[in-house]
Amino acid sequence: MSFIHSIKFRFTIWYLLVLAILLVALSAGVYFYLSGSLYRGLDDSLEIRSTQIRSIQDILESIRQGEFQEELGEIVILYFYSGNQLMDVSPRGITIPVSHELISQAIAGSSLFATVQTAEGEGLRLLAVPVNIAVAGPPPGIQPATLVIARSTRQIDQALGGLLRTLTIAVPLALAFAAGGGLFLARRALKPVDEISRTAQEIGETDLSRRINVNTKDELGRLAATLNEMIGRLEKAFQRQRQFTSDASHELRTPLAVIEAESTLALQKERPSGDYRQSLEGISQEAKRMSSLIEQLLTLARVDAGKEQWNFAEVNLGKLITNLSTDAEVLCQEKGLSFQSGQMQDLVVRGDEARLRELFMDLLDNAIRYTSSPGTISVSLQREAQIAVIAITDTGVGIPAEDIPFIFERFYRVDKSRSRPEGGTGLGLAICKHIAEAHGGKIEVESQVGAGSTFSVWLPLQSL
């Protein structure tokens, strides 16, 4: 990425633009404030001087006789009409470009300030004020006149020019230093972004153990922490995916190997029909196991993809458990187990009856599978406040305490050597947990090795 397209460059440009506007506005403010202040000072001095001159008796005669003395840098001119002709009198015979309109307004009684340029290009600030003069005639008497006092603006122009030159040099230098400082601060502030980018580029699907090393407590630090959490979740997800794929491959490999071995053995030479029947039964059993495993894998795949279809309706748990108990009792009799079913209350929940049937049947099947004759399987349904509690208890082998936290994980087996021959895939309890949680409930287990286990399903009752 080129520098001009970087955030650092854009930040610096915006920073310089705002700073330039502020500096120009500040410079203009300083310039105009100083200009106004200097001109107000000059105007004040002209007003004080005009008051002094107007207090002189017979100012016209004083100027004509050469008695009046101008101050240094000052020009004094007296304008008056003699007949219809405008006359002017000055101690040094100097004339300045003053408009007749200004003189007429001053004679009429107005005091006016003006700035004019001499023929040499020098600026003059002047004050025109009305004054009465005595004239010898004809006819003799008092008549109105205009007193003009002017002073050069050279010093003011030089001061303002010097200030303008200083600002012209200082503002670009300030912007240049600000650009350098802005780039430095932008690079320093956005350095964690470069670290985040480099680390993200180095993280691959096969190595999600890397983390972004940004320890600041600002927004970028929070962003890095959030990204690290996301990478951690992705790492766990990929680990689960790899473990799931590995376990699924391992589970499918076993029945496929059995089917291949049985079919190869059956085809090697002529055998009695009983041997063929035995081989076909083995192949059929392994095919059923594969079909069950694939169905469970598809169920979990739909769970992960969020594409499950649920048909929620009112379900009478008492009737559902009673119907399942009939099937479970038959399975218990085949294995030499006793089956006990408590009184079933008519408790109603809102759920998917087919999935709830699958949940309870899987728990009953596990209980029967891991209980030896003469054992006992019992089922109960109780109400606790607004919760229906279904408990399935067996007197089987039990589950070690260290395995209980993991039995609801996918492909987890307490005794792997026993599970496969007895038909377990390690997915049933994971599916049971998902079904219970999808209904707003939960599933728990209490077990003791050699004494048996109790699986309890908690489901919220239908609101009235």
CATH number of the domain to which 373 belongs: 3.30.565.10
Residues 351-390: tens digit of each pLDDT: 999 899 989 998 998 899 889 888 999 999 999 889 999 9
CA distances from 220 to 193, 210, 217 (A): 7, 18, 8
- The percentage of the chain sitting over the pLDDT mark of 70, rounded to a whole number, equals 90
- Out of 256, 283, 305, a domain closes at 305
How many helices (DSSP H) and strands (DSSP E) are in the chain?
10, 12
User: 119 near 47, Cβ under 8 Å?
Assistant: no
Same domain for 11 and 87: no
Same domain for 163 and 40: yes
- Out of 305, 323, 340, a domain closes at 305
Q: Which amino acid does the sequence have at 236? A: K
Same domain for 367 and 446: yes
CA distances from 204 to 22, 207, 227, 239 (A): 48, 5, 14, 13
On the question of a cis peptide bond just before residue 460, with omega within 30 degrees of 0, the verdict is no
Same domain for 174 and 124: no
CA pair distance 132, 144, nearest whole angstrom: 5
* CATH number of the domain where residue 232 is located: 1.10.287.130
CA pair distance 387, 80, nearest whole angstrom: 114
How would you list the strands of the sheet with 442-448, edge to edge?
Answer: 338-341, 376-384, 387-394, 452-460, 442-448
CA distances from 24 to 16, 166, 362 (A): 12, 13, 80
Same domain for 87 and 137: yes
Same domain for 238 and 177: no
Same domain for 346 and 274: no
pTM of the model: 0.50
DSSP letter at 70? P
Least confident of 89-103, 206-220, 346-360: 206-220
Q: Is position 60 within any domain?
A: no
Coil, strand or helix at 214: coil
Q: Which of 147, 153, 118, 156 shows the shortest CA–CA distance to 49? A: 147
Same domain for 320 and 416: yes
Q: Is position 334 within any domain?
A: yes
Residues 124-179: tens digit of each pLDDT: 999 999 998 877 666 667 889 999 999 999 999 999 999 999 999 999 999 999 88
Averaged pLDDT score across all residues of the chain: 84
Query: Is the pLDDT score of 242 beyond 70?
Result: yes
Same domain for 327 and 252: no
Q: Is position 281 within any domain?
A: yes
Same domain for 179 and 45: yes
Coil, strand or helix at 381: strand
Q: pLDDT band at 247, cuts 50/70/90?
A: low
Name every residue whose Cβ is closer than 8 Å to that of residue 42 and which is 6 or more positions away in sequence. Answer: 125, 151, 153, 156
Residues 186-211: tens digit of each pLDDT: 777 777 777 777 777 777 656 677 77
Q: Is position 115 within any domain?
A: yes
Least confident of 4-8, 11-15, 48-52, 332-336: 4-8
Q: Is position 298 within any domain?
A: yes
The number of folded domains in the chain is 4
Q: pLDDT band at 423, cuts 50/70/90?
A: very low
Range of the domain at 176: 1-55+153-202
Helix residue ranges, H only, 55-107: 59-64, 100-107
Same domain for 334 and 273: no
Same domain for 418 and 331: yes
Residues 99-128: tens digit of each pLDDT: 889 999 999 889 999 999 888 888 999 999
Q: Is position 210 within any domain?
A: no
CA pair distance 90, 60, nearest whole angstrom: 9
Q: Is position 119 within any domain?
A: yes
CA Rg, the chain, in Å? Answer: 53
Query: Is the pLDDT score of 421 beyond 60?
Result: no
Q: Is position 109 within any domain?
A: yes
Show the CA angle centred on residue 205, arms to residues 224 and 209, nearest 5°. Answer: 50
- Out of 275, 305, 335, a domain closes at 305
